[in-house]
């Protein structure tokens, strides 16, 4: 298995098309699903809006992942850039989290040295996201590099305030992802919900939210359900993965995802929960089945 940090960094550098294996062939028929999919679509309960991260299923070309998503009742693909949005539109799928404006996971809004480049890029991407009819655009705090957390907060607030008015005018929501700094992203500033929530309070805009990654926050601080219940108004998007290992969200790991999804549902959340686990299966066919099982588990 590839390491998560390498995969996500690759995601930010280029579009991933992946290699096609034999088990992916059922999802690559020449006929577009837009012409004949009603009989295939899985009927879900409708309480949760399901998505799947592009990078964790990159063994399928995007066309194949779109067809699979349509079959499973998934309504959106996460972490897709502008060059691939036309494919999503062809299948009637939402881009639940857009990316491409960021510099890297390490060079983010918490460091003023990157503000000029970030402001230019995010101004461009806010317009692109809005014009495409999408809503969410990911952003990152970046690393501390010895900086005090309070200084990082002040820097991020000052930088983000320079683009928030445009985001508000265009109906785009900037979503800063929470990462753990214990295992996957050493030195990341926004590595706990308290820091992210304080930044949200200072910005005071409905167009800035936190991407609450359940896997990362279980590692960083635990107490996932209480945090969601108490602070859900600050969370605009959720990611899943199993702890430990960020693999399937099944009985081999420690999180109770049906209970977590019920807690999210009960807050009245109407955004997306995106599956972001790395399949740890012997074959592509089994990996596809693991996504099917994850959607069923979270469909509360």
Q: Each residue of 91-140: pLDDT tens digit?
A: 999 999 999 999 999 999 999 999 999 999 999 999 999 999 999 999 99
* Per-residue pLDDT tens over the stretch 221-271: 999 999 999 999 999 999 999 999 999 999 999 999 999 999 999 999 999
**HEC secondary structure over the chain:** CCCHHHHHHHHHHCCCCCCCCHHHHHHCCCCCHHHCCCCCCCCCCCCCEEEEECHHHCCCCHHHHHHHHHHHCCCEEEEECHHHHHHHHHCCCEEEEECCCCCCCCCCCCCHHHHHHHHHHHHHHHHHHHHHCCCEEEECCCECCCCCHHHHHHHHHHHHHHHHHHHHHHCCEEEEECCCCCCCCCCECCCCHHHHHHHHHHHCCCCEEEEEEHHHHHHHCCCHHHHHHHHHHHEEEEEECCCCCCCCCCCCCCCCHHHHHHHHHHCCCCCEEEECCCCCCCCHHHHHHHHHHHHHHHCC
Residue 190 belongs to a domain: yes
Asked if residue 25 is part of any domain, the answer here is no
Residue 3 has pLDDT above 80, yes or no: no
Mean pLDDT along residues 191-201: 98
Q: How many domains does the chain have?
A: 1
Q: Is the pLDDT of residue 14 over 80?
A: no
Q: How far is CA 3 from the centre of its chain?
A: 17
Residue 290 belongs to some domain of the structure: yes
**CA–centroid distance for 266 within its chain:** 21
Instruction: Tell me the CA distances in angstroms from 10 to 2, 58, 252, 259, one per residue in order.
Output: 11, 11, 28, 33
- Identify the CATH number of the domain in which residue 266 sits: 3.20.20.150
Structural domain for 183, as ranges: 4-12+41-298
Q: What is the pTM of this model?
A: 0.88
Residue 28 lies in a domain: no
What does the pLDDT read at residue 40? Answer: 53
Q: Which residue is it, tokens 């066919």?
A: 285
Length of the chain: 300
In a domain, 17, yes or no: no
pLDDT band at 34 (very low <50, low <70, confident <90, very high): very low
């Amino acid at each position: 298995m590839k390491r998560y940090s390498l995969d996500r960094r690759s995601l930010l550098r280029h579009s991933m098309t992946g290699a096609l294996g034999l088990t992916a062939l059922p999802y690559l028929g020449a006929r577009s699903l837009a012409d004949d999919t009603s009989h295939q679509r899985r009927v879900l309960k409708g309480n949760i809006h399901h998505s799947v991260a592009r990078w964790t299923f990159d063994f399928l070309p995007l066309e194949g992942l779109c067809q699979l998503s349509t079959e499973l009742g998934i309504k959106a693909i996460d972490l897709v850039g502008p060059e691939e949005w036309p494919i999503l539109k062809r299948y009637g799928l939402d881009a639940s989290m857009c990316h491409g404006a960021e510099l890297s996971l390490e060079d983010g809004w918490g460091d003023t040295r990157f503000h000029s480049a970030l402001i230019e890029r995010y101004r461009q991407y806010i317009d692109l996201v809005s014009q495409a009819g999408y809503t969410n655009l990911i952003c990152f705090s970046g690393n501390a590099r010895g900086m005090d957390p309070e200084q990082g907060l002040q820097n991020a607030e000052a930088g983000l305030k320079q683009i928030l008015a445009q985001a508000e005018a265009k109906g785009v929501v900037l979503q800063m992802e929470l990462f753990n700094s214990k295992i996957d992203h050493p030195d990341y500033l926004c590595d706990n919900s308290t820091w992210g929530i304080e930044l949200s309070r200072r910005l005071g805009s409905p167009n800035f939210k936190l991407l609450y990654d359940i896997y990362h926050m279980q590692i960083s601080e635990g107490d996932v359900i209480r945090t969601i219940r108490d602070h859900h108004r600050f969370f605009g998007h959720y990611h899943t993965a199993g702890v430990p290992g960020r693999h399937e969200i099944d009985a081999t790991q420690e999180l109770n995802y049906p209970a977590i999804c019920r807690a999210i549902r009960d807050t009245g959340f109407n955004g997306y929960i995106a599956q972001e686990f790395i399949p740890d299966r012997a074959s592509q066919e089994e990996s596809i089945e693991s996504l099917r099982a994850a959607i069923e588990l979270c469909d509360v």
